[in-house]
Structure 1
Amino acid sequence: MPNESQTIRTAPALALEIKGLEKVYGRAGSPRRKHALKGIDLEVPRGSIFALLGPNGAGKSTLINILAGMVNKSGGTAKVWGIDIDEDPRQARAAIGIVPQELNIDAFFSPRELLDLQAGLYGVPKSERRTDEILELVELADKADAYTRSLSGGMRRRLLVAKAMVHNPPILVLDEPTAGVDIELRRKLWDNVRELNRRGVTILLTTHYLEEAEELCDRIAIINHGEVIACDTKENLMRRLDAKTVTVTVAEDLPEVPEKLPHALSSFSVQISGPNRLTFEFRKSDGPIARILGALASAGFHIQDISTEESDLEDIFLELTSAKQGAGRIHAA
Structure 2
Amino acid sequence: MTAGPASSDVLVVDGVVRRFGKLTAVDGVSFRVAPGETYGLLGPNGAGKTTTISMVAGLVRADAGTVRVMGEAVGPDKIAVRRHIGLVPQDLAIYPELTARENLTFFGRLQGLERRDLTRRVGEVLELVGLDERADGATKEFSGGMKRRLNIGVGLLHRPALLILDEPTVGVDPQSRNAILTSVEALSVEGMAVLYTTHYMEEAERLCDRIAIIDSGRIQAEGTRDELVRLTGGIDHVRLTGSGDVDAAAAALGDLRAVERVDADGQVLLLTVRDASSAVASLVTGATGAGMSLSDVEISRPNLESVFLHLTGKALRD
Question: How is 1:23-172 mapped onto 2 (pairs within 5 angstroms)?
Answer: 23-26=18-21, 33-85=22-74, 89-129=78-118, 130-172=121-163
Paired residues of 2:42 and 2:200 also in contact (CA < 8 A): no
Q: TM-score, normalised by structure 1?
A: 0.84
Structure 2 residue identity aligned to 1:155: M
Paired positions, count: 307
Aligned to 2:188: 197
Contact 2:250 2:264 in 1 (8 A): no
Counterpart of 1:252 (choices 214, 238, 244) is 244
Deviations 1:65-98 (A, max 9, x none): 1121211221211111222215982332111111
Unaligned runs of 5+ in 1: 1-10, 27-32, 325-333
Q: Distance in 1 between the 2:88 and 2:254 partners? A: 57
Are the equivalent residues in 2 in contact too, given 1:261–1:295 (CA < 8 A)? yes
**1:290-329 residue pairs with structure 2 within 5 A?**
290-322=281-313
Identity, % of aligned pairs?
36
| Structure 1 counterpart SS, 2:246 | coil
The question of 1:177 aligning with 2:168 is answered yes
- CA distance in 2: counterparts of 1:63 and 1:258, whole angstroms: 49
Matched position secondary structure for 1:101: coil
Does the Cα contact within 8 Å between 1:17 and 1:78 map onto a contact in 2?
A: yes
Distance 1:263 1:139, change over 3 A: closer
Relative to 1, partners in 2 of residues 1:264 and 1:34: Cα closer, same or farther, differing over 3 Å? closer
- Using the size of structure 2 for normalisation, the TM-score is 0.88
* Helix, strand or coil at the partner of 2:146: helix
For residues 4-19 of structure 1, the aligned pairs below 5 Å read: 13-19=8-14
The question of whether the paired residues in 2 share the 8 Å contact of 1:12 and 1:81 is answered with no
Find the aligned partners of 2:258 and 2:173 in 1 and give their Cα distance. 46
Aligned partners of 2:11 and 2:68 also within 8 Å: yes
Q: Partners in 2 of 1:88 and 1:137 — Cα distance?
A: 32
Q: Give the direction of change, closer, same or farther, for the CA distance of 1:12–1:190 in structure 2 (3 Å limit).
A: farther
Deviates more, 1:246-255 or 1:95-104: 246-255
Q: 2:225 and 2:242 mapped to 1: Cα distance?
A: 36
Change (3 A) 1:127 1:13: same
Can you list the C-alpha shifts for 1:105-125, whole angstroms capped at 9, x where unaligned?
221222222112211222121
Letter paired with 1:116: T
**In structure 2, what residue type is equivalent to 1:224?**
D
